Amino acid sequence: MASMFQPGAGAIPATLVEISVSCRNLHDMDVFSKSDPLCVLYVKDRGSERYRELGRTEVIWNNLNPDFVKKFTMHYFFEERQMLRFEVFDVDSKSADLSKHDFLGRMECSLGEVVSAGRLQKPLTGQNIKKGAIIAVTADEMTSCKEEATMQFFGRKLDKKDFFGKSDPFLVFYRSNEDGSFTVVHKTEVIKNTLNPNWNVFTIPVRSLCNGDYDRSIKVECYDWDRDGGHDLIGEFFTTLRELSKGKCGQNEFECINPKKKAKKGAKYKNSGVITVESCRVVQVPTFLDYIKGGTQLQCTIAIDFTASNGDPRTPTSLHYINPYQPTQYAMALQAVGEIIEDYDSDKLFPVLGFGARLPPDGRISHEFFVNMHPTDPYCAGLQGVMQAYSNALQKVQLYGPTNFAPVINHVARFASARRNGTDYFILLILTDGIITDMPQTKEAIVNAASLPMSIIIVGIGEADFDAMVELDGDDIRVSSRGRYAERDIVQFVPFRDFIRSNSDMGISKAQLAKEVLEEIPDQFISYMKKHNIKPQPPQAVQSLPPAL
């Protein structure tokens, strides 16, 4: 998808591509079962030798030949050599720390290689990795289609596959490619011990299902689930989104055909069951920009860690040390992220909170104070006002502790709770050295905030162990508290050290940090609006030009 046309402006030509990954003949690392593979994609930063993680696929249990459903999306620049590294792991626990899982191999290539090859196949390599394992990667250009399809299917009289039971059926959906191959795009849940399953309703972007082409072939396979990963094919059928979109009708009853059974039985074979469309609805999906153009305001609150674990600000080793020749890491992070958010805030006024300090005049400990030291007004005028208030506060407070996140999260949640109708969306930016002391209370606060129009960005400052922060970032495992799970993933954690190096170009590092920190906000924003069925308002009137003289 090319970037938007803007007369009078300049733009680097870019195409949005979707990267799909499959593996074959992976090494079996588990004693009593097969490996449980996960693929991680790293992208090499421009102008450096450093790779940063772009994302992870889902885990596919008990499978040495996985076709991962989760895709990676990124911009393809024809004029750049964009280096990629794929690493595959056998997952052994719920930990997000990759060092705690078995390494199954890596492959490096450029995005240009993938695009030109159509399907790039290379061996997985690495220390002590046996030969024979391969990884296959494809890159498909994504259209600007904004539609999504919500569908439900049921099956009747499917073949019995289990010796001591019936079948455990599930469906797999594939998008057809230009070269005649197919890419898996969705799997339903497994329905245990039945020949007449009713699968749950699911929603999928139209561009994932058929790249916006209603007449492109869609393949659907029905399998009987087996614990060892060797799922048995019950049958398959082909359709298009144009057919499916007609909903429940005689035309949308599909005979499930097993090719091997048909070849063996010949004319005696009828089918292996029937799959029917219970419902299918295609709707236009509003984008993040649709809401912004309709007047939704982003309200950003900044919270800064003033605890003693940051070090005495009078000493050069402190993360808060005021160096006349170089800003603190806190100041650099504030500048990088604030410059982006400031553009979306109409009044340019930012509430800035501090936590973990002793305050004048009596030295009382506070986990929720106004950094500008005003008794009732936390607002700072623009990014410059934020930087000035932060600098002044370092001269007036005593760094202390403990490091409690829950008070500042609950502070912003109170405001978000009063504005649930889509007029405002709240972003809490927490800058911290990561030594958190109220983890149970913080998890409770996040679970409560997940139902509100709110996102939380945590930027880890310094060289601490940030495992606790990774736990709060619910990309893989949703945050929970006392048996309740957060209804949305609203936390994004980024370690600042990955973006600032003493010999690097500081401008590039700041830009990369801002991109990494803010890239999940649009999806989190949309997830709230969609969950609560909030539609964008019509675009606000654009101020007209003055009459020509």
Predicted local confidence at residue 302, as pLDDT: 95
**How large is the average pLDDT for residues 60-77?**
92
Helices (H) and strands (E) in the chain, counts: 12, 28
pLDDT at 58 over 90: yes
Distance CA 473, CA 248 (A): 40
Alpha-carbon torsion angle 495, 497, 498, 500, nearest 10: 130
pLDDT at 505 over 60: no
What are the Cα distances from residue 391, in Å, to 15, 372, 422, 431, 547? 42, 10, 34, 15, 46
CB-based contacts of 150, cutoff 8 Å, min separation 6: 201, 202, 203, 279, 280, 281, 282, 283
For 409, the enclosing helix (H) or strand (E) is helix 406-417
CATH number, domain 147-284: 2.60.40.150
pLDDT, one tens digit per residue, over 80-120 is: 789 999 999 999 888 888 999 999 999 999 999 998 888 89
**How large is the average pLDDT for residues 205-213?**
92
Residue 104: other Cβ atoms inside 10 A: 25
Predicted local confidence at residue 475, as pLDDT: 72
**Strand runs labelled E in 25-130:** 37-44, 51-56, 72-76, 83-90, 102-110, 119-123
Q: Read off the DSSP letter of residue 113.
A: H
- Residue 128 corresponds to which tokens in the numbers above? 């002590």
Asked whether the beta carbons of 47 and 89 are under 8 A apart, the reply is no
φ, ψ for residue 99 (rounded to 5)? Answer: -65, -15
User: Reduced to 3 states, what is the DSSP secondary structure of residue 235?
Assistant: strand
pLDDT at 193 over 60: yes
Distance CA 480, CA 272 (A): 42
**Interstrand relation of 424-432 and 297-305 (parallel, antiparallel or unpaired):** parallel
pLDDT at 448 over 50: yes
Cα distance from N-terminal residue to C-terminal residue, the chain: 40
pLDDT, one tens digit per residue, over 293-314 is: 888 988 999 999 999 999 999 8
The widest CA-to-CA distance across the chain, in whole angstroms, is 93
Residues, the chain: 549
Position with higher pLDDT, 503 vs 429: 429
Predicted local confidence at residue 326, as pLDDT: 82
**How large is the average pLDDT for residues 48-59?**
89
Predicted local confidence at residue 548, as pLDDT: 60
Predicted local confidence at residue 502, as pLDDT: 53
**How large is the average pLDDT for residues 514-522?**
82
Predicted local confidence at residue 12, as pLDDT: 46
Asked whether the beta carbons of 119 and 158 are under 8 A apart, the reply is no
Predicted local confidence at residue 534, as pLDDT: 95
Predicted local confidence at residue 1, as pLDDT: 39
Distance CA 538, CA 545 (A): 21
3-state helix, strand, coil in the chain (%, to 5): 25, 30, 45
Share above pLDDT 70 across residues of the chain, in percent, rounded to a whole number: 93
**How large is the average pLDDT for residues 49-57?**
89
Predicted local confidence at residue 9, as pLDDT: 42
Mean pLDDT of the chain: 89
Predicted local confidence at residue 518, as pLDDT: 82
**How large is the average pLDDT for residues 539-545?**
64
- Indicate whether this model's pTM tops 0.85: no
DSSP letter for each residue of 410-475:
HHHHHHHHT--SSSEEEEEEEEE-S--S-HHHHHHHHHHHTTSSEEEEEEE-SS---HHHHHHSTT
Residue 301: other Cβ atoms inside 10 A: 23
DSSP letter for each residue of 275-314:
EEEEEEEEEE---HHHHHHTTPEEEEEEEEE-BGGG--TT
Predicted local confidence at residue 78, as pLDDT: 75
What are the Cα distances from residue 499, in Å, to 45, 70, 237, 463? 10, 26, 48, 12
Residue 313: other Cβ atoms inside 10 A: 17
pLDDT, one tens digit per residue, over 461-480 is: 988 888 888 888 877 678 99
Taking alpha carbons only, the member of 210, 217, 218, 198 closest to residue 153 is 198
Query: Residue 456's beta-bridge partner residues?
Result: 428, 491
Domains 147-284 and 289-531 share a fold: no
pLDDT, one tens digit per residue, over 477-500 is: 789 999 999 999 999 998 888 876
**CATH superfamily entry for domain 15-141:** C2 domain (2.60.40.150)
Measured N-to-C along each axis, helices 329-342 and 506-518 cross at an angle, to the nearest 10 degrees, of 60
| Domain range summary for the chain, segments of one domain joined by + | 15-141, 147-284, 289-531
How far is residue 5 CA from its own chain's centroid? Answer: 27
pLDDT, one tens digit per residue, over 375-399 is: 999 999 999 999 999 999 999 999 9
What are the Cα distances from residue 46, in Å, to 12, 82, 83, 110, 450? 15, 8, 9, 13, 35
Predicted local confidence at residue 171, as pLDDT: 98
Side chain identity at residue 136, one-letter code: A
pLDDT, one tens digit per residue, over 113-170 is: 998 888 899 999 998 888 899 999 999 888 778 899 999 999 999 999 877 789 999 9
How far is residue 344 CA from its own chain's centroid? Answer: 22
Long-range contact set of residues 166-169: C-beta below 8 Å, sequence gap at least 24: 166/193, 166/194, 166/195, 167/193, 167/194, 167/195, 167/224, 167/234, 168/192, 168/193, 168/194, 168/224, 168/225, 168/226, 169/194, 169/195, 169/197, 169/222, 169/223, 169/224, 169/225, 169/234
**CATH superfamily entry for domain 289-531:** von Willebrand factor, type A domain (3.40.50.410)
Reported as a pLDDT band with limits 50, 70 and 90, residue 33 is confident
pLDDT at 37 over 60: yes
